[in-house]
Amino acid sequence: MSFKIALIYGDGVGPEVIKAALEVLEALDFDAEYVEVKAGYEYWRRTGKPMEDGALDVIRSCRCVLKGPLMTPPGTDSYRSVTVMLRQTLDLYANVRPFKSFGKASKKIDMVIVRENTEDLYSGIEYRLGSTAITLRVVSERASKRIARFAFELAKREGRRKVAVVHKANVMKESCGLFRSAFFEVAKLYPEIQAEEIVVDSAAYRIVVAPETLDVLVTPNMFGDILSDVAAGVVGSLGLAPSANIGDGYAMFEPVHGTAPDIAGKGVANPIASILSAAMMLSYLGDAKRARAIEVAVDELIAEGRVLTPDMGGTAKTVDVAREVARRAREALTSFR
């Protein structure tokens, strides 16, 4: 069956890493029709529009989106984040960010951050009162229960044993308090899974010093955003961290990292985060074998340590890593048959 997939190449290193992901999908003979949707900061600078006309209709006509990072520079009043807008408009309420240690890493890390993706301080409700700026933190019972349920269902599906809610309810008694109580309410429906709580600052510390003790973390939007970069650093590089934005019946896949303007255009961006995001897309589409083939290829590549980009201590280019993962993934897929 051929899948229709919307492609947003993104800004900065986006086109380089998304092309790498496409090369791997092609090597696996994944049957897809890609429809490019132009969007992002560069597009806005050229046209005055954040996305091309009719973009949302095209996106909705596809099965899902594969997307590179999009730039949202601070201080640009008239330009708002296209990524946040897509997550909210398409109601992609669960941001799933798995962090695994690959290759011969000393600590065995296998954790997933499940981040609420539509509310919190990213509600977009902000204003000035004289010389004071106010951003509203919106946390609803509906969204909090929905994300807690999603995290427990993910844990059940993946045979995971613990889900921890990350909060700061001792200080933000209303917003974090509601997020926390909704979580424990939902936890009662999953007695076979251990429900825990971790205060956000302590979660940051544990991710750094004892990541192997963590399993599933469910977080409000902003905490999840920040903790993800901490976790990416602990597994070795932002260039290794994939993600999925999942709603009821639609999804968008993208690397956790941003546009990396410091290395854009140099051909040295690590494409693995985007390649693994494509693997998450394959799993979502029910193609577990091809997804697994990519994971095996990445694990082998990192264990061998020969073809790695500079962020991982290597000298390889983006295209070299893409070619090598594609070759190994194809071999792995053949061996599964």
What is the token pair recorded at 130?
Answer: 């004289």
Residues in the interface with ligand ATP (CB under 6 A) total 18
User: Given the complex with ligand ATP, which of 44 and 152 has the nearer CB atom?
Assistant: 44
229 labelled catalytic: yes
Interface positions, 48-107, toward ligand ATP (CB under 6 A)? 69, 71
Task: Give residue 327's identity as a one-letter amino acid code.
Answer: R
Using left for φ > 0, alpha for ψ between -120 and 50, and beta otherwise, residue 242 falls in: beta
Compute the least distance from the CB of residue 254 to ligand ATP, in Å: 12
Does residue 239 touch ligand ATP according to CB under 6 A? yes
Q: Which residue in the list 31, 53, 201, 248 is annotated as catalytic?
A: 201
Q: Which of 210, 270, 204, 283 minimizes the C-alpha distance to 240?
A: 270
Q: Please tell me the distance from the alpha carbon of residue 183 to that of residue 186, in angstroms, as a whole number.
A: 5
Which CB atom, from 247 or from 314, has the smaller least distance to ligand ATP?
Answer: 314
Query: Rounded to the nearest whole angstrom, what is the least distance from the CB of residue 265 to ligand ATP in the complex?
Result: 12
Instruction: By CB under 6 A, tell whether 139 contacts ligand ATP.
Output: no
Residues 247-276 that bind ligand ATP (CB under 6 A): 257-263, 269-270, 273
Q: How far is the CB of 16 from ligand ATP (least distance, A)?
A: 8
- Count of other CB atoms within 10 angstroms of residue 283: 16
CA 279 to chain centre: 12
Known catalytic membership, residue 108: no
Of residues 277 and 309, the one with the C-beta less far from ligand ATP = 309
Least distance CB 264 / ligand ATP (angstroms)? 8
Q: Is the Cβ of residue 154 or residue 268 nearer to ligand ATP in the bound state?
A: 268
- 191 DSSP 8-state letter: T
Q: Which of 272, 223, 238 is nearest to 18 (CA)?
A: 272
Beta carbon of residue 262, minimum distance to ligand ATP (angstroms, whole number): 5
Q: How far apart are CA 193 and CA 187, in angstroms?
A: 8
Look at residues 278, 234, 228, 268 and name the one whose alpha carbon lies nearest to residue 102: 234
Our finding on whether 10 is near ligand ATP (CB under 6 A) is: no
> Which residues face 97 on adjacent strands?
113
Report the alpha-carbon angle 225-133-201, nearest 5. 35
Q: Respond yes or no: is residue 93 known to be catalytic.
A: no
- Is residue 104 flagged as an active site residue? no
Site for ligand ATP in 301-330 (CB under 6 A): 309, 311
Measured CA to CA, the distance from residue 7 to residue 10 in angstroms comes to 9
- To the query of whether residue 190 is one of the catalytic residues in this protein, the response is no
Residues annotated as part of the active site: 122, 168, 201, 225, 229
Which residues would be at the binding site for ligand ATP (CB under 6 A)?
13, 17, 69, 71, 238-239, 257-263, 269-270, 273, 309, 311
